[in-house]
Every structure is written in C-alpha cells, then in structure tokens.
Structure 1
Amino acid sequence: MEAFFISTSVVALAEIGDKTQLLAFLLAAKFRKPIPVILGIFVATLANHGLASAIGAWATDYISPDTARWVLGISFLAMALWVLVPDTIDQEEATIGKYNAFISTLIVFFLAEMGDKTQVATVILAAKYTPIVAVIAGTTLGMMIANVPAVCLSDQIIQRVSVRLMNKLVAAIFAILGILTLVGIDTFFTV
C-alpha cells in the first residue's frame, strides 16, 4: 500500500506544470474531445510507466543494496532539483499529426513522457518499492489525477493553480525521500 500511495502522491504533484501536463492542455484545446484524450493519456502512461517500472525493478537485481541506497538517495535529491526547473513543450512534441484524438494523444503523450521527470521518478520509485504493480498503478493514477482535470477544466485550472508552489512541494517530497533513503530509512509508515 505504501508503494501505491507514495507513487500516486509524488507523480500527481510532480505532473503539475510538467511538459506532459502542458501537452494535455494542448491536446484538450486541439481536439475538444475529452474522453478520447483522457483514454490516450491513460494507455500511454500505463505503457510508459510499465516500462519504466520494469527498468527500475531490473536495476535492483544487479546493484548491491548499499550501492542502490546511495544511487536512489542521490536520484531522489536530483529529482528534487530537477522539479524546480520549469518545463516547456518543444515544437516537435506539440506536433500532433493527422490521427484521431485517441491515437494522436497515445503517440504524442507516450513519446513526450520518455525521459520526462515523471518517467524518471517512476524508475526510481520502482527501484525502491515493491511490488512494481503498485508503483505502476500509483504512478498511472497520479498522472490521471493531474491530467484529467487538465483536459476537462483547462481554462479554469490555469488561472487557479500555482505551478511554482506545487513544484516546491514536489521538490520537498523528493528531498525528504532522498534523505530518508540515504540514512537508511526504508519506510514512512512503520509502526
């Protein structure tokens, strides 16, 4: 449950102001068909984060626990800094093509997520937490929590959400995860 909760929370917050969320706004404005866009985001995220989680879990099989702790701790701290850098959409990522809303969203969102902050976070989370199914479900839900409102309420959200504040909150969460990992605390919900 911990893997699911942390994965959902971290990715939902990290996605606010992320380039893929900006892309969700763009897709919603272009197609004006929220359901196919939302389904495209869901399928793209599930595939992308499934791959990212598999890589994270695979890496833990080949790295000693002590080395993994240091790599993960430093990775969380690096993510804390990276989240503070504002995202923009490249012109190539914004090109949607001639396909329908679902296919266009699926392709463009999957490609835009490659190497994105939330994908890297998913690799890190899958390396730290098991089972990876909980990480995949959590990160996918986190993406949907951030992007479904972006698609459905794009005009209203842009005016009310402080991306800067959310980025600072996410950076703090990643920093805490990094510090706890480096000092060897593996869980947040120990009793």
Structure 2
Amino acid sequence: MFTAVLVSVAVVFVAELGDKSQLITMTYSLRHRWWVVLSGVGIAALLVHGLSVAIGHFLGMTLPQRPIAVAASLAFLMFAIWTWRDARRDEDDEEPRVAEPRFVVFAIVSSFVLAELGDKTMLATVALASDRNWAGVWIGATIGMVAADGVAIVVGRLMHKRLPERFLHYLASVLFLIFGLFMFVNGVLGLPGLATAVAAATGGIAALVAVTAWIRRRRTAAESAPEPAAVDADAAAARDATGY
C-alpha cells in the first residue's frame, strides 16, 4: 500500500503539471480565498480518483467521452458568464466585493469532476489501480492532485497581490470561456486542431479588447485631467486667500 501511495503521488503530480486542472485552479484562486479553492480541489480529487479506482480495480469500464465533454463545456461557459457578471457588478460598486464561498465550493467540485473525467490523470489512476493496492492509489492520487493544484493556487495568489482585482475577475471569465470552447470543439466535435485555433483566437481577441479599453481609459483620464496653468492659477488663488 505504501508503495502504491508513493507511485501514485509521483505519477499524478507530474501528470497535473501544466494540465488544464492547474489552470482552472489558478483561475478560481484569482477570485476566491485560497482555502475555499483548496477545499473544493480536495473534494473533487477524492471523488474523481475514487471513481478512477472503482473503474480500474473493480469494474473495468470505460466512460462515455462525448456526453462528459458536452456537460463540461456547458459548465465552463456558464462559469464564464457568472464570473463576467460578477466583474461587471464589482465595476459598478465603489469597492470590489469579496466573493462569498456559498456556492463556490460546489462550482469548483463540479467543474473539476467534469474536467477530469476521461483526462490523462484519471486514465493514469485507472491504470495504477488495475495492478496495485486500490486504497493506496486513491490516497496517493488525491495527494498528488492537491499538491500540484496547490502550486497553482500559490501562483494565483501572487498574481492577486500584484494585479487589480477587477482585471483578475475579467481574466478569470475569459479563461473559463476559453476552457469551455476548447472542451466543446475538442471533446464534442473531435477537432483538436480547430479547438486550439479557437482557444488561441478567443485569447487574442480578449487581449485586443483589453488593450483597446486600457488605451481608451488612459486617453479619457488624460483629457479630464486639469491643465497645468489652471492648477497653478488655483494654487496662486489659494495662497492669496490664506496668505501662505
């Protein structure tokens, strides 16, 4: 069992590096508290790898890929709309709101389970459970996934400290949109090349829109700023009135 734990931790941790689940974790950590995100990731890891162990060790079944891809893509598109609406609502408020964790854990768990079903990490867990101790594989795979996604949370929190919160909310919405489109085109239509092109085009359009909005705001701020002569005149008037 101990060997199964160690092997599963190593395999799943390496498999998760650079995987979409790390990007999803980082996206959630841009908007929510780290412990909320990590709790959701831990629950999802237990569920996903428990199912993987059951499939690999007890059932020997395969999962239907297309229905899972449809559900996952629709879920991420819904998360994109939800995140965008929260960002717009924050923009109307004077101070950005802190997202409440009431439904966040459920959203994290559901999105992770849908994203991981049929993923290479799950397939690796199925293979490990077929010839190793099932309990050790379950424990080790869960630890490996949580550890790898914990790295993504650290990266997300560092970004959160250095970048404006509203910008991060919009960024999270765009990332969810890219995930949803990629999963739909790749998993449902079976066109990986087109999926990559659609994801890249969506990211490029979002970047162009962001740069255009930034330039427009800078120009508006420059036009609304008082002229230096007017500032000097106001300062002189203030000195004359106060005698200083």
Do these two structures clear the TM 0.5 threshold for a shared fold by scoring above it?
A: yes
Compared CA separation, residues 4 and 94, structure 1 to 2 (3 A):
farther
* SS state at 2:118 partner: coil
Equivalents in 2 of 1:107, 1:94: separation in Å?
13
- Higher relative helix content: 2
Partner of 2:37: 37
Match of 1:93?
Answer: 76
Give the match for residue 140 of structure 2: 138
Matched, 1:121 2:104: no
Equivalent pairs counted in the alignment come to 128
Cα contact 2:29–2:157 (8 A) shared by 1: no
Cα distance, 1:26 vs structure 2:
1.0
- Structure 1 112/155 Cα, relative in aligned 2: closer, same or farther at 3 Å? same
- Find the counterpart in structure 1 of residue 12 from structure 2: 11
What amino acid does structure 2 have at the position aligned with 1:34? W
Q: 1:134 to 1:102 in 2, by over 3 A?
A: same
AA paired with 1:154?
G
Question: Unaligned regions of 5+ residues in structure 2, if any?
Answer: 62-71, 84-101, 160-244
Q: Which deviations, in whole Å up to 9, do the C-alpha atoms of 1:44-75 show, x marking residues without a partner?
A: 11011001101110257x9xxxxxxxxxxxxx
Deviations 1:85-138 (A, max 9, x none): xxxx968536425863211111111111111111111101101211x1100000
Q: Retained in 2: the 8 A contact 1:93–1:112?
A: no
Question: Higher relative contact order by CA 8 Å / sep ≥ 6: 1 or 2?
Answer: 1
The residue that corresponds to 1:52 in the other structure is: 52
Aligned to 2:194: none
Contact 1:12/1:146 (8 A) holds in 2: yes
Q: RMSD value over aligned CA atoms?
A: 2.5
Q: CA deviation at 1:155?
A: 6.4
* Residue 148 (1) aligns with residue 131 (2): no
Q: Deviations over 1:165-190 (max 9, x none)?
A: xxxxxxxxxxxxxxxxxxxxxxxxxx
Amino acid at match of 1:107: S
Give the direction of change, closer, same or farther, for the CA distance of 1:22–1:122 in structure 2 (3 Å limit).
same
What percent identity do the matched residue pairs reach?
Answer: 32
Give the distance between the partners of 2:130 and 2:38, measured in 1 at CA: 28
Q: 1:22 to 1:90 in 2, by over 3 A?
A: farther
Amino acid at match of 2:145: M
Contact 1:59-1:127 at 8 Å conserved across structures: no
> Structure 1 stretch 42-51 or stretch 148-157: which is displaced more?
148-157
Compute the displacement of 1:148 (Å).
1.1
Q: Deviations over 1:130-161 (max 9, x none)?
A: 1x11000000000011001211333669xxxx
**TM-score, structure 1 as length reference:** 0.60
Q: Distance in 2 between matches of 1:155 and 1:35?
A: 11
- 1:13-54 Cα offsets, whole Å, 9 max, x none, are 1100111111111111132x1111110010011011001101
Which TM-score applies when normalising by structure 2? 0.48
